[in-house]
Structure 1
Amino acid sequence: MIKYGVIGTNFITDWLIEAGKEVNDFQLAAVYSRTKQRGEEFAEKHNAPHVFTNLEEMAKSPMIDAVYIASPTAFHAEQAILFLNHGKHVLCEKPIASHNQEVAEMVRTAENNQVILMEAVKNTALPNFQQLRTAIDKIGPVRRMVTSYCQYSSRYDAFKEGKVLNAFDPTFSNGALMDIGLYCVYPIIDLFGKPDSIKASGVKLSSGVDGEGTLLLAYPDMEAVAMYSKITQSHFPSEIQGEKGTIVIDHIQKLEKINIHYLDGQVEKISLPQNNADMSYELQVFHEKISGKNESSQINSLETSLQTANVMTEARDQLDVVFPADESRMK
């Protein structure tokens, strides 16, 4: 069994714990909360035997083997490094950190302590993303990939009324690119690697974060476009366009329905049923990395996380979206 501590008592942590019930060697051992009352309430809800209100004590505890971090992004690097230095494996919610230098430091710390660090990006861990990966050769040389995730935020109405909630607060390293744009950028980097150049455009909100944006990533023989928004809604699919056909993806976050449309008019369905909880697949990948069962797997690799962080950091610089956390890289 892998004994987990969790940081964050929100709905995302609820989802992770529920997904853990579908993974044989997952065991919830401890909950961290800044307040004892909230920690005890969350622990009781999920039958966790231990509650911590001090992160250092939790990191030192022999009662956990791994930690799942679902705190605001601004805290990810500091918290992850603390646990990595105490020999704990770290599954860190996306985005893994505020900027590329933090990610690089986290990777170095994991390597120095010989423990596993993984970014919890769920769409690239799904079975249908692996189906997608193996199907690319069928459409010939790829010339364009377009990803789209535009979802009107339930918190945007409050923002327009003058209330800045966490989702639009730069203090927590938030905004559209960080929150949902990553679901568009990460798969592109996973499939095609580091781009030669990046061009970013978008709408910057009064709080200082981006509300929506578009990234154009240039490669030697193709280009990729990532479109994302928290202030508009879209039903536009994502595509990978090749010279022999086009792969059409219903939703880049979920990848439930994927078809290849060939030039001769034939359509091939390549998606499979994904009956388990979405987050159970990333948990399984994380556990395989810990056990060393699949050392050659590139699913949610640290290289992809680093390259994605490089792209997103440069994009924010072009958009002039600055977080307090950026002070550490600008010194």
Structure 2
Amino acid sequence: MIRFGVIGTNWITDRFLQAVKEMNDFSLTAVYSRTSDRAREFAEKYQVHHTFTSIEEMAISEVLDAVYIASPNSFHAGQAITLLNHGKHVLCEKPFASNAAEVEKMIEAAKRNDVLLMEAMRTTFLPNFTLIKENLYKLGKIRRYAASYCQYSSRYDTYKAGTVLNAFNPVFSNGSLMDLGVYCIYPMVVLFGEPKEVKATCFMLDSGVDGEGSLLVKYDEMEAVIMHSKITDSNLPSEIQGEEGTMIIDHIAAPGHVEIRYRDGKKEVISTMQEGDGMYDEARAFVDLIKQGKKESSINTHRNSYVTAAILDAAREEMGLIFSADNNRKPC
């Protein structure tokens, strides 16, 4: 039985806990929130007896083995490092941290303390993403990766009415690129590795974060085009274009239908049915790694998380998007 604490009492934590409720080796034993009232309220919902309002006290507690972090992005690195330094395994929501310098410190802490650290990018653990990887060879020489994630934020109307919530606040290292663009970038890194060059543009909101934007990413023999937005919707699929065919992916963050259209006109559906919430797959992988004594995922590797963070840094530099957390970061 792996005893978990959670940091963050929002909808994503609720979704995570619903996804893992059938796991017989997962036990929720602790809840952290910045206010004791919210911590108790959330704990009562899940019949948990231990609550914390101090990360340090949570880190030294003997009632948990691992922690799922779903706090605002700007808190990820500090919270993770404190927990790692006290021997706790950490599953941290995407984006891993505010910048690559923070990611590097997180990785160093995990290695120094011989504990597991993994980014909670669920996409790469989904069965259909595995099928995407396994069928890439059918496309021939890959020439373009085109990914789009544009979803009108439920918080944007509140923003337009004059209230800046966390989702559009640079203090919390937020914005369209960090929230949605990362879902396009991380799979690209897993499939194709580290790029040679990153160009980026965006529409900057008055609050100081990007509402939407685009990236043009250069590899040796291919390019990637990425579109992301929190202020518009898009129904465009994503594509991986090869010289022998094109793979069409209905949703890059959660592939449901994936097919290949060959140059000779033939079509091949390669996707399978996704069973349950995709967050189960990442949680199952994380718990299995702990039980196997592993300290790093072979899928969401430390390197993949670092390269993704470096791409986000390079894009933000082009966009002129600066976070408070960038004060001490090293240039990419």
Q: Structure 2: which 5+ runs fail to align?
A: none
Quick check: 1:56 aligned with 2:56?
Answer: yes
- Which residue identity lines up with residue 201 of structure 2 in the other structure? S
Give the 3 Å change call, closer, same or farther, for CA 10–216 of structure 1 in structure 2.
Answer: same
- Which residue identity lines up with residue 308 of structure 1 in the other structure? T
Partner of 1:152: 152
Give the alignment's Cα RMSD to 1 decimal.
Answer: 1.4
Question: What does 1:51-200 correspond to in 2, within 5 Å?
Answer: 51-200=51-200
Partner of 1:12: 12
- Which residue identity lines up with residue 319 of structure 1 in the other structure? M
Which segment is superposed worse, 177-186 or 21-30?
Answer: 21-30
Do the aligned partners of 2:84 and 2:113 also contact (CA within 8 Å) in 1?
Answer: yes
What is the CA-CA distance between 1:267 and the residue it aligns to? 1.0
Give the 3 Å change call, closer, same or farther, for CA 126–155 of structure 1 in structure 2.
Answer: same
What is the CA-CA distance between 1:330 and the residue it aligns to? 6.0
Partner of 1:32: 32
State the alpha-carbon separation in 1 of the partners of residues 154 and 295 from structure 2.
40
Deviations 1:229-275 (A, max 9, x none): 01111000000001111110001111011011111111111111111
State the alpha-carbon separation in 2 of the partners of residues 296 and 173 from structure 1.
25
Do the aligned partners of 1:67 and 1:89 also contact (CA within 8 Å) in 2?
Answer: yes
Normalised by the length of structure 2, the TM-score is 0.97
- Which residue identity lines up with residue 175 of structure 2 in the other structure? G
State the alpha-carbon separation in 2 of the partners of residues 13 and 144 from structure 1.
35
- Which residue identity lines up with residue 276 of structure 1 in the other structure? G
The percentage of aligned residue pairs carrying the same residue is: 54
What is the CA-CA distance between 1:122 and the residue it aligns to? 1.2
Deviations 1:86-115 (A, max 9, x none): 000000011110000000000011011110
Which segment is superposed worse, 14-23 or 108-117?
Answer: 14-23
Do the aligned partners of 1:4 and 1:27 also contact (CA within 8 Å) in 2?
Answer: yes
State the alpha-carbon separation in 2 of the partners of residues 51 and 254 from structure 1.
33
- Which residue identity lines up with residue 13 of structure 1 in the other structure? T
Deviations 1:186-232 (A, max 9, x none): 11011000000000111111111011111111011100111100111
What is the CA-CA distance between 1:154 and the residue it aligns to? 1.6
- Which residue identity lines up with residue 37 of structure 1 in the other structure? D
What is the CA-CA distance between 1:24 and the residue it aligns to? 3.0
Question: What does 1:231-310 correspond to in 2, within 5 Å?
Answer: 231-292=231-292, 298-310=298-310
State the alpha-carbon separation in 2 of the partners of residues 314 and 57 from structure 1.
36
State the alpha-carbon separation in 2 of the partners of residues 111 and 292 from structure 1.
16
Partner of 1:21: 21
Do the aligned partners of 2:65 and 2:88 also contact (CA within 8 Å) in 1?
Answer: yes
State the alpha-carbon separation in 2 of the partners of residues 295 and 209 from structure 1.
34
Do the aligned partners of 2:117 and 2:295 also contact (CA within 8 Å) in 1?
Answer: no
Count of aligned residue pairs for this structure pair: 331
Q: Secondary structure at the match of 2:241?
A: strand
Do the aligned partners of 1:150 and 1:234 also contact (CA within 8 Å) in 2?
Answer: yes
Do the aligned partners of 2:101 and 2:330 also contact (CA within 8 Å) in 1?
Answer: no
Do the aligned partners of 1:22 and 1:276 also contact (CA within 8 Å) in 2?
Answer: no
- Which residue identity lines up with residue 222 of structure 1 in the other structure? M
What is the CA-CA distance between 1:52 and the residue it aligns to? 1.3
Give the 3 Å change call, closer, same or farther, for CA 33–294 of structure 1 in structure 2.
Answer: closer
Deviations 1:274-322 (A, max 9, x none): 1121100110121222223788963111110000000001110110101
- Which residue identity lines up with residue 209 of structure 1 in the other structure? V
Do the aligned partners of 2:247 and 2:261 also contact (CA within 8 Å) in 1?
Answer: yes
Q: Structure 1: which 5+ runs fail to align?
A: none
Partner of 1:227: 227
Give the 3 Å change call, closer, same or farther, for CA 99–234 of structure 1 in structure 2.
Answer: same
Partner of 2:2: 2
- Which residue identity lines up with residue 183 of structure 1 in the other structure? Y
Which segment is superposed worse, 42-51 or 164-173?
Answer: 42-51
Partner of 1:43: 43
Deviating beyond 4 angstroms after TM superposition, the runs of 4 or more aligned structure 1 residues are 293-297
Q: Secondary structure at the match of 1:202?
A: strand
What is the CA-CA distance between 1:49 and the residue it aligns to? 2.3
